[in-house]
Structure 1
């Protein structure tokens, strides 16, 4: 498994994938950091701090991280099967489990390094230019973003292992991205309209519908962040979620399920597949 993981990481360097992702996350994070203090240079007296930065990064991160994770991971195994190189990899002293989990760890490492470098550059800009900056809180947010990336890579690699076609794996990645970030809220809205009506007073949404809404991995990421960084609650609210049935730390349970279930299903399919 170590050999496969090392190969994945080195391949990303040789193909400039890692460099490209590092540049992407650096540009993304530094830009959002910089726009917090540029207005201050023009005479604004607003307080520029960590919470302001997290507020700017919150929504873009929810969309960018899954996009990168799914696009990096979807071809991990399906691409090898399409090209035929999977036979060479399995011909070496590697079990299918070692190949599968080596791919997961390797692809996660690639995305994680890009996030750490990009967010590290943003932290440097913030330390130099902000009124106040809580490095510990931003570091925790960075680690949670890496955990969110693990979820997306796990889904992508799990789906990639379940099909031998690279095109089908890509279609699956696109479908998952659309489900998580677009269709999930639509489904919640449709279920709400069909069962209790279009408008629901705050705090009166049925428990089952609130829980279903919270099972979205992007929502679970927000809940986990609220659990670790209490100040994050000021910028991320869930007014329809019953507090007596849901706690923010449950987000870690949901994240764990989104890692374990796709990997288990993907490994089961890959282990049973006939490699041509």
Structure 2
């Protein structure tokens, strides 16, 4: 067997499951229904893309969690992994094949949701949707969701029990979204940074706080979509406004945001594989 064979077989098995079909349907519904609901509120579809971004920031990591957090640990605890290892098949090929399969499901879901969203926007909005903006949004959304798949997948390879994998996935979601994003009112990143500053006797600067916030996948995702609004000139109050003289800074920031998302993916995958490579298989 090979990485391709593992990925192909796992993808075929995955796309037929109700869980995967539900994930694809949920993501498609979020995008399509948001466009349908806001078609009478705004003239431009890119304004709705901003709201879709906010929805995916909160709900996307939850939707893709079932794809990855038990992917490896479930087969280890059930003993099915010994079948894959006896075909023969190396651990690296198994690990890579499983990961590529789950990536494929996410890309399928994102692609379907964007195609349908573009279609709804073209039929219902006053102004024609911009293919370029949808392309940027699609790429950023895929990268954001793939980063969480990588995080959950790495946890699945790192732990030895289903419950531990579930708790690890929940902990990472809470840390990276509600906690880091400040959505929890009393215990969040800002209160932690304030406490650290008080202990050090020197409050952290706003620039330092913002740099730390940017490291989160959700912040990097939002920042990587800013280029969609570069030539709008503040047409809508809630959209980012980028002065002409700041375009170079915007592109550099976009590159840093992309690297941050790739960094989260790489870190968890490397740690997970390092543990899986020497783990005892049942």
Normalised by the size of structure 2, how large is the TM-score? 0.84
Secondary structure class of the residue paired with 1:247:
helix
Q: Which ranges in structure 2 are unaligned for 5 or more consecutive residues?
A: 199-203, 242-248
Structure 2 contact 229–240 (Cα < 8 Å) conserved: no
Instruction: For residue 191 of structure 1, report the CA deviation from its aligned partner.
Output: 3.4
* 2:195 alignment partner in structure 1: 194
* 2:244 alignment partner in structure 1: none
Aligned residues: 258
Q: Does residue 262 of the first structure (1) align with residue 268 of the second (2)? A: yes
Change (3 A) 1:196 1:160: closer
Structure 1 contact 8–106 (Cα < 8 Å) conserved: yes
Q: How does 1:143-154 map to 2 (within 5 A)?
A: 143-154=139-150
Structure 2 contact 43–126 (Cα < 8 Å) conserved: yes
Change (3 A) 1:150 1:233: farther
Structure 2 contact 144–221 (Cα < 8 Å) conserved: yes
* 1:108 alignment partner in structure 2: 103
Q: Which ranges in structure 1 are unaligned for 5 or more consecutive residues?
A: 41-45, 198-203
Deviation >6 Å, runs of 4+: none
Instruction: For residue 232 of structure 1, report the CA deviation from its aligned partner.
Output: 8.6
Secondary structure class of the residue paired with 1:17:
helix
Q: Does residue 125 of the first structure (1) align with residue 124 of the second (2)? A: no
* 1:208 alignment partner in structure 2: 208
Structure 1 contact 222–236 (Cα < 8 Å) conserved: no
Of 206, 228, 253, the residue aligned with 2:259 is 253
Instruction: For residue 228 of structure 1, report the CA deviation from its aligned partner.
Output: 5.9
Q: How does 1:176-191 map to 2 (within 5 A)?
A: 176-184=172-180, 185=182, 186-191=187-192
Structure 1 contact 26–121 (Cα < 8 Å) conserved: yes
Instruction: For residue 152 of structure 1, report the CA deviation from its aligned partner.
Output: 0.6
* 1:21 alignment partner in structure 2: 23
Secondary structure class of the residue paired with 1:248:
helix
Structure 1 contact 77–161 (Cα < 8 Å) conserved: yes
* 2:33 alignment partner in structure 1: 31
Secondary structure class of the residue paired with 2:253:
coil
